[in-house]
Structure 1
Amino acid sequence: MRSHLNRVVFRKLLASEPIAHRGCLRPHQHTPPCPPHIQVLPRAQRRFFMNIFKKPQRVASEPRMAPGLEKMMEYSKMERLSARLPPPEDVLKAVTDFLHSKWDKNNGTKAIPDVHAQHLLRCLNYLDQHLGLSTLEPDMLRRWIEVFDHRAHRKSSIYRELVGLLYNALCQNRLQISERLTMKDVNVYIKAMCAVGGTESARDEAIKYGRNYSDTVGYKPLPSWEYIIKGFARERNEQELLCTLEHIDEYATEGSRKMAIERILSFYLNEENIEKATEWYNKVKEHTVKVESFQRSQRKLLSLSMHTSNSKLGQLVIRDITAGTPTKYQWDTMLEWAVATGKGADEIDRMISVMERANQSLPKDEWRIPDTRTLNLLVKVAVDRKDPYLAERLISVGGTRNIQPDALTLIYQMQYRLAVKDVDGALTVYKHLQSHDLSKNDDVSVVNELIRTMCASGRQDFDSIMNVAADLSDRQAPFEPETVSALSVLHLSRDEVHDVIDLINTHVYSFDMAGRASVQSTLIDYCLRPSTTTAQAWDTYIILKQVFDDTAREQRVKVMNDFFRRQRPDMAVHVFNHMRAHTRQDTIPTVDTYVACLSGIGKLRDEESLEVVYNQLKLDFNIEPNTHLYNALMKAYTSCEAPRTALGFWDDIATSLEGPNINSIHLAMRACEDAPWGDEKARKIWVKLRRTGIELDQDLWASYAAALVGNGHVENAISSLEEAHVEQGLDMDTLVIGSLYNAAPGQVKKGVVEAWAKERYPEIWAALEDIGTRVSEQTQLPEFKIDREVEA
């Protein structure tokens, strides 16, 4: 680009044109110098009494991050930039703080979002290279592995890589101090690896450890096969699930085999494979298992029959239940089946009466008495069937039997009321729910749904929505990504930017990639809405820039183009320059990004923005200009009334290895049309085109004739067209004649074109009149509404 910059400067000097240097987006305001005879007095200090009544400027809250995360993110950025990395000791402290915050012996581990897991993996690899993870305490490594025993970690392979890295470090640690791996070490690994989707590796490690243990110490079963069975079932790996039974026979106890059979039944139930489920249900019946476990299997089988509407399967299970004396749990299961098969509330009430009468033949401690659990199971079936009327009737039946609803009942009630958009009814239930124990946060999901529905309804006042949101916030309950999105749009529509920043800083850093992308997409959609004001769109973009640093180039280009649509090229160029200043390769501008920006500037004819972007291009070592980019520059400079500059880019195209394309020729002719003495340049280009033997179609003739007419050579242009019509068979159409008329300077020249066209081609002229005219923005003269737009 250096030689190109020199060429630009010399061309400007030779053409006696000014050299624009408006590359600074924020020029300094210089005070004009004072004449020497005037003494500049110091400004008096002013204090305004009324300032004491002004509200203090609100400061946005800091992002709420897990301990150590900020340092880990800093490391990732430094690694990406190939900059000096922080000391390993600092990274180790950050990793320790982060994983310690996720490990809680009493309350269980907390999920690590996948975006945080990426930072963690980079940091652990760095520590392994410089400090050696195997030098850490075994207990610490075990606790770190335990963190990944969480069901939210199944979605990404990065968790398996993390568990494998830590377990290898634990194995090396034991090897260095000449100790055997303990069963606790292996169990922690197996449990975590099964949780993150690496069950096959966990199974192999269990077999390896079992063999080594039995060879050296004597046989002792490894009590981790339950996790392996569950893992294969979650991964839907039928083949390995069945093969694991053979290994269980060799390395585990009989109880483990019974457990495995029940898990395989659950697997086929989840797969909705009725034939296999029935087969394994019969196997479960053959083995001596716990009564409670067998009854749970019956309930799962009935649930499958309900879901698949397979009454035959359901009747099979009901016959097994009624063959003996049903327990309370089995009665609840039969009542569920009755509701699922279409029984009404009155019939359910009669079945409950039958159950109560049957108690007379049983000891009092075995009586089957309907309770809140019974009610909740029935209401849930009604909710799943999307039958709110039946759910209300079942709650009424429970009321007549003095069965008091609990928090779960009210949660179901809120669900079915929200399903029918009864927001007021759901709010009423929500108020009753506040008097119950919600320490387990069972209501968080439905309250999140309530907030979103209130935001979407448009009928709920702002304070009511905020009261519900504040309740969740006070309890420090999690906000779902969709809820954060809905509340963000609500605040933005009220110009409450600080509230949006506080909301996002509080919640978005705990989301995984999908959750972050959901909020990010909502903000971008809001920014692009035509109903969003320009100020609101800019505020939204600034939030995106600050919080979602990973916003992709394509999304940023959409925002940039939207500011062009809003007639704000200055804001669009800011978006473009933020891309240029970015550190990620998938965000910095490409040739297509420059073309999009130049096209937007050209449409708005903003010369200052054009010079800013062009100066940036000359300094951008990542961009190798090609014909596509030169076309965009040529088009933009022509639109900004700098056709001579535009023709300079034509010369660059003509001398390049790639050479011009059809669009380049059209754009060069557009520049010749507006440039002083542009007809000479147009003729030179035209002569070269005819020498190359390129097919000169109607579009090219229209552009060439317009270039001649634009410089006042109407007769020359007309004669050239007439000659081409006779000798080359050029067909005149609305584009050719319309281009001639639109390019003609002044009313007199337009009159000449009009007189000629009416005489020689009256039908085409009549078609042009049918198309209609408009007033040109540049000449303020009439022109036909024909499409002469050329893409770069």
Structure 2
Amino acid sequence: MRSHLNRVVFRKLLASEPIAHRGCLRPRQYLPSCLPDIQALPRAQRRSFFNIFKKPQRVTSEPRMAPGLEKMMEYSKMERLSARLPPPDDVLKAVTVFFSHKRDRKTSTRYIPDIQARHLLRSLNYLAEAESFSHLGPSVFYEWLQVFDHDAHADSSLHREIIDILYRALCQSKVLDGRLPKTKFFVAYVNALCATGGTLTARDELIQFTKQTHSPLQSTEIKSLWGSIFKGFSAEKNEVELLRTLAIMNETSAEGPQVFAHEVITRFYISQQNVDKASEWYNKCKEQDFDSRLELLQRALIDLGMRTSNTNLGKLIVKDITAGTPTKYQWDLIFQWAAGTGKGADEIDRMISVMERANQSLPEAEWRVPDTSTLNKLVKVAVDRKDPYLAERFIALGKSRNIQPNALTLIYQMRYRLVVKDVDGALTVYKHLQAQDLSKNQDVIVVNELIRAMCTSGRQDFESIMNVAADLSDRQAYFEPETVSALSVLHLSRDEVHDVIDLLNTHVYGFDMAGRASVQSTLIDYCLKPSTTTAQAWDTYIILKQVFDDTTREQRESIMNEFFRRQRPDMAVHVFNHMRSHTRQDIIPTIDTYVACLSGIGKLKDEESLEVVHNQLKLDFNIEPNTNLHNALMQAYTLCESPRTALGFWDEIASSREGPNINSIHLAMRACEDAPWGDEKARLIWTKLSRTGIELDQPLWASYAGALVGNGDVKGAIDLLEEAHAQQGLDMDTLIIGSLYNAAPGHIKKGIVEAWAKERYPEIWAALEEIGTRSSEQSGLPEFKIDRETGP
């Protein structure tokens, strides 16, 4: 089939019409994919003296991905493009390296974000179809399953599918491995299911396994698995199955962890803030041999009482504690409850003295002495109540008793100072925190909060912010998505594009989809922000294109429209071209994208951009032009002062099966208004409209009158309107007369319209004068501020 472009060229030649080209149809500024990612637009060439003083070119870091992930991403892309897939052995090697990395606690977290899980799932399905698992021993799959045996992957269908694939491959493995008994595989499988939201399946598998297996589970293994199932249902907030599991365990006389089950159920109701149920199951726990875990449960209930302001619950726990001889831990709970119910630092101090006097009746080895743990519990209560004054009083109380604060105390101090927006005070505490043992990274969350607060406060200098961020980076600690967003905007505001790319390459590939979307949304908002300079907006877009290749079509269209708003059609067309060259079907331009692009070009009257986009449309086999698209072309060519070309699209609309719509008629009339001898074309269109019986409302009459008067036929337009007014009952209004005046060419023609309107419709003319006038962009003549705009 001959291309549409060839047909257009031959039609132009046969009709003796010129073929506009303006040199190369794809000038350098419109190359969609040849520009370097961090280069904005072509710049003038600069030469240094023999390059002696030339600064070394800054090279951005490579994306920091988990080992093996890049190869799996490559497979996903090739699969989406239906291209030649990489060899299964290469993908298997990547999967093996990936799991080894996740199992190494020293170098990484075992958490697999959902984005990585999606690529991993595709790769495992590919390997399963290629039968690449046949030579792997069961121990390999056992080690891979252990990656999922913690709660970080809660309620993830992606991870459960991965687990199913691994367990099926494990069961079908023909390679003998006597180092691990069969039950070990099953234990890993059940634990993985419970940690990923598949507890119901895990319970059914456990019941079935214990009935059919010839290698019965050990007693400790059974208790462990039932414990995992109880924890799984609790994490899934599944009250019905949680209680049903306890009933099943009792009915089948299964050897399960009864005490642990009661504790999990109690904690479940605590998390649901169900005071009555929590109290009921707490009483059942007290009836059993609970040892020191009862104290932990009492603390959770004390916290529940303070969160719900339920004094009865707190009094019940305190009564249970004081019924015997409270331990040091239980005394701390009493102080915590007292602080939570409004007791001040002085009253707490007196209560501590009571505890110390009670030591006289105990052996010295059992004395209960207030310590840093006591102080931290009190400060935490003040922080939760958002009472920084009370927190400071408790810290002062600790100093008076020679209780030295530790890292946790300083972390609480930072939190309450950040709550009251005391960023300088929080930074001072942070400096003291540096002298503490932070090997467990317990300060990471609050330091992330500090960085964000420093970025938004506007009072902190750049170096101070970077010093705090560098401390986290040197420790290879976790940067939260909100922190990465804040630092990215800070660097962008300083035109530090390379630093933004380095920051994103270091962190975003380890985020899940929600985290990536958060950073992506922040960058898009910054790009669309009116106060952002055009150069910064362009740099931000290039970063989005490079780092967030999955930016949606809608998001890209909003950026394209933003550059149109900034009167930079060249940048907008770059964004459009990047969409055209994308490999994903859900990102390449649709008809609506073309319409938005053509509308923006038309408003800015950029003929060169219009020519480029129109030529691309002719070559785009994904697009079948419809009336809406032809309307956009007609509007764009009319605004770019090519009304004759615009009327050619009217002819295509009129001969199409879909036919014109109301907007098509208005746009055709506007083209006739500007085209030479356009009044003749307008009369032909109007005659056809009259024959179809379409309702000719006032806006259509206004467009038709404008088309006639635009070619100088003022008398004909006035006579037409007078006749329609007299015979068809056309009501004159500001739109009709204003359109007639605005379309009239030259001062003389406008004067004729003005004289007629003042004589025949003085009230309407007076209303137009109240609306006011402006200078026409094309002629510079005055025109009324009426809305004659028509969209595609």
Q: What TM bracket, shorter-length normalisation?
A: over 0.9
- Asked if 2 retains the 8 angstrom alpha-carbon contact of 1:774 and 1:784, the reply is yes
Aligned twin of 2:531: 531
Measured in 2, the distance between the counterparts of 1:252 and 1:414 equals 52
Residue 56 of structure 1 pairs with residue 23 of structure 2: no
Aligned twin of 1:779: 779
Q: Say which SS state the counterpart of residue 455 (structure 1) adopts.
A: helix
> Residue 177 of structure 1: CA displacement?
8.6
Higher relative contact order (CA 8 A, sep 6+): 2
What code does the residue aligned with 1:26 have?
A: R
> Residue 248 of structure 1: CA displacement?
2.8
> Residue 253 of structure 1: CA displacement?
6.6
Residue 228 of structure 1 pairs with residue 240 of structure 2: no
Once the two structures are superposed, what CA deviation does each residue of 1:310-331 show, in whole Å capped at 9, x if it has no partner?
1111111111111111111111
Aligned twin of 1:37: none
Residue 403 of structure 1 pairs with residue 403 of structure 2: yes
What code does the residue aligned with 2:270 have?
A: L
Query: For residues 113 and 469 of structure 1, do their structure 2 counterparts lie closer, same or farther at Cα, with a shift above 3 Å needed?
Result: same
- Across the aligned residues of Structure 1 and Structure 2, the Cα RMSD in angstroms comes to 2.2
- Asked if 1 retains the 8 angstrom alpha-carbon contact of 2:65 and 2:510, the reply is yes
- 1:69-218 → structure 2 map (5 Å cutoff): 69-104=69-104, 110-173=110-173, 182-213=182-213
Aligned twin of 1:245: 246
- Asked if 2 retains the 8 angstrom alpha-carbon contact of 1:109 and 1:149, the reply is no
Measured in 2, the distance between the counterparts of 1:209 and 1:106 equals 35
Q: Say which SS state the counterpart of residue 625 (structure 2) adopts.
A: coil
Instruction: Name stretches of at least 5 consecutive residues in structure 2 with no aligned partner.
Output: 32-45
Q: Say which SS state the counterpart of residue 261 (structure 1) adopts.
A: helix
What code does the residue aligned with 1:19 have?
A: I
Aligned twin of 2:476: 476
Once the two structures are superposed, what CA deviation does each residue of 1:158-193 show, in whole Å capped at 9, x if it has no partner?
011111111111111269899996221111111111
> Residue 150 of structure 1: CA displacement?
3.1
> Residue 383 of structure 1: CA displacement?
0.4
Aligned twin of 1:580: 580
Once the two structures are superposed, what CA deviation does each residue of 1:127-186 show, in whole Å capped at 9, x if it has no partner?
111134354121111111111123221142101111111111111126989999622111
Query: For residues 166 and 128 of structure 1, do their structure 2 counterparts lie closer, same or farther at Cα, with a shift above 3 Å needed?
Result: same
- Asked if 2 retains the 8 angstrom alpha-carbon contact of 1:2 and 1:618, the reply is no
Measured in 1, the distance between the counterparts of 2:468 and 2:231 equals 38
> Residue 214 of structure 1: CA displacement?
7.0
What code does the residue aligned with 1:739 have?
A: S
What code does the residue aligned with 1:299 have?
A: R
Aligned twin of 1:40: none
Q: Say which SS state the counterpart of residue 476 (structure 2) adopts.
A: coil
Measured in 1, the distance between the counterparts of 2:341 and 2:453 equals 31
> Residue 378 of structure 1: CA displacement?
1.0
- 1:727-738 → structure 2 map (5 Å cutoff): 727-738=727-738
- Asked if 2 retains the 8 angstrom alpha-carbon contact of 1:221 and 1:253, the reply is no
Query: For residues 734 and 298 of structure 1, do their structure 2 counterparts lie closer, same or farther at Cα, with a shift above 3 Å needed?
Result: same
Which deviates more from structure 2 when the two are superposed, residues 265-274 or residues 99-108?
99-108
Aligned twin of 1:754: 754
- Asked if 1 retains the 8 angstrom alpha-carbon contact of 2:101 and 2:107, the reply is no
Q: Say which SS state the counterpart of residue 526 (structure 2) adopts.
A: helix
Residue 284 of structure 1 pairs with residue 300 of structure 2: no
> Residue 252 of structure 1: CA displacement?
7.2
Measured in 1, the distance between the counterparts of 2:59 and 2:107 equals 34
Query: For residues 566 and 711 of structure 1, do their structure 2 counterparts lie closer, same or farther at Cα, with a shift above 3 Å needed?
Result: same
Query: For residues 63 and 27 of structure 1, do their structure 2 counterparts lie closer, same or farther at Cα, with a shift above 3 Å needed?
Result: closer
Name the count of aligned residue pairs.
775
Measured in 2, the distance between the counterparts of 1:10 and 1:107 equals 65
- Asked if 2 retains the 8 angstrom alpha-carbon contact of 1:214 and 1:220, the reply is no
Which deviates more from structure 2 when the two are superposed, residues 52-61 or residues 132-141?
132-141
- Asked if 2 retains the 8 angstrom alpha-carbon contact of 1:481 and 1:511, the reply is yes
Query: For residues 369 and 23 of structure 1, do their structure 2 counterparts lie closer, same or farther at Cα, with a shift above 3 Å needed?
Result: same
Once the two structures are superposed, what CA deviation does each residue of 1:490-544 show, in whole Å capped at 9, x if it has no partner?
1111111111111111111111111111111111111111111111111110000
Aligned twin of 1:314: 314
Aligned twin of 1:24: 26
Measured in 2, the distance between the counterparts of 1:667 and 1:645 equals 13
Q: So what's the TM-score if we normalise by structure 1? A: 0.95
Measured in 1, the distance between the counterparts of 2:382 and 2:767 equals 67
What code does the residue aligned with 2:229 have?
A: I
What code does the residue aligned with 1:433 have?
A: L
> Residue 430 of structure 1: CA displacement?
0.5
What code does the residue aligned with 2:449 have?
A: E
What code does the residue aligned with 2:265 have?
A: I
Query: For residues 699 and 15 of structure 1, do their structure 2 counterparts lie closer, same or farther at Cα, with a shift above 3 Å needed?
Result: farther
Q: Say which SS state the counterpart of residue 539 (structure 1) adopts.
A: helix
Q: Say which SS state the counterpart of residue 783 (structure 1) adopts.
A: strand
Q: Say which SS state the counterpart of residue 197 (structure 1) adopts.
A: coil
Aligned twin of 1:262: 263
Once the two structures are superposed, what CA deviation does each residue of 1:539-565 show, in whole Å capped at 9, x if it has no partner?
110000000000000000000000001
- Asked if 2 retains the 8 angstrom alpha-carbon contact of 1:650 and 1:668, the reply is yes
Residue 690 of structure 1 pairs with residue 690 of structure 2: yes
Aligned twin of 1:522: 522
Measured in 2, the distance between the counterparts of 1:105 and 1:429 equals 30
Measured in 2, the distance between the counterparts of 1:48 and 1:277 equals 76
Q: Say which SS state the counterpart of residue 369 (structure 1) adopts.
A: coil
- Asked if 2 retains the 8 angstrom alpha-carbon contact of 1:492 and 1:540, the reply is yes
Measured in 2, the distance between the counterparts of 1:204 and 1:679 equals 81
Aligned twin of 1:655: 655
Which deviates more from structure 2 when the two are superposed, residues 132-141 or residues 86-95?
132-141
Measured in 2, the distance between the counterparts of 1:172 and 1:57 equals 54
Q: So what's the TM-score if we normalise by structure 2? A: 0.95
Q: Say which SS state the counterpart of residue 774 (structure 1) adopts.
A: strand
Q: Say which SS state the counterpart of residue 53 (structure 1) adopts.
A: coil
- Asked if 2 retains the 8 angstrom alpha-carbon contact of 1:248 and 1:256, the reply is no
- Asked if 1 retains the 8 angstrom alpha-carbon contact of 2:154 and 2:195, the reply is yes
Once the two structures are superposed, what CA deviation does each residue of 1:355-406 show, in whole Å capped at 9, x if it has no partner?
1111111112211111111111111111011011101100110111111000
What code does the residue aligned with 1:455 have?
A: C
> Residue 288 of structure 1: CA displacement?
2.0
Aligned twin of 2:12: 12
- 1:615-764 → structure 2 map (5 Å cutoff): 615-764=615-764
Measured in 2, the distance between the counterparts of 1:47 and 1:652 equals 52
What code does the residue aligned with 1:532 have?
A: T
Query: For residues 406 and 628 of structure 1, do their structure 2 counterparts lie closer, same or farther at Cα, with a shift above 3 Å needed?
Result: same
Query: For residues 457 and 106 of structure 1, do their structure 2 counterparts lie closer, same or farther at Cα, with a shift above 3 Å needed?
Result: closer
Q: Say which SS state the counterpart of residue 133 (structure 1) adopts.
A: coil
What code does the residue aligned with 1:172 have?
A: Q
> Residue 23 of structure 1: CA displacement?
3.1
Measured in 1, the distance between the counterparts of 2:547 and 2:513 equals 13
> Residue 51 of structure 1: CA displacement?
2.6
- Asked if 2 retains the 8 angstrom alpha-carbon contact of 1:262 and 1:284, the reply is yes
Which deviates more from structure 2 when the two are superposed, residues 113-122 or residues 143-152?
143-152
Measured in 2, the distance between the counterparts of 1:28 and 1:563 equals 15
Q: Say which SS state the counterpart of residue 789 (structure 1) adopts.
A: coil
Q: Say which SS state the counterpart of residue 442 (structure 1) adopts.
A: coil
Measured in 1, the distance between the counterparts of 2:168 and 2:176 equals 12
Measured in 1, the distance between the counterparts of 2:379 and 2:51 equals 60
Query: For residues 142 and 586 of structure 1, do their structure 2 counterparts lie closer, same or farther at Cα, with a shift above 3 Å needed?
Result: same
Residue 562 of structure 1 pairs with residue 541 of structure 2: no
The share of aligned pairs that are identical, in percent, is 73
Measured in 1, the distance between the counterparts of 2:217 and 2:144 equals 29
Q: Say which SS state the counterpart of residue 508 (structure 1) adopts.
A: helix
Measured in 1, the distance between the counterparts of 2:774 and 2:662 equals 28
> Residue 675 of structure 1: CA displacement?
0.7
- Asked if 2 retains the 8 angstrom alpha-carbon contact of 1:710 and 1:745, the reply is yes
Measured in 2, the distance between the counterparts of 1:299 and 1:12 equals 85
> Residue 104 of structure 1: CA displacement?
2.4
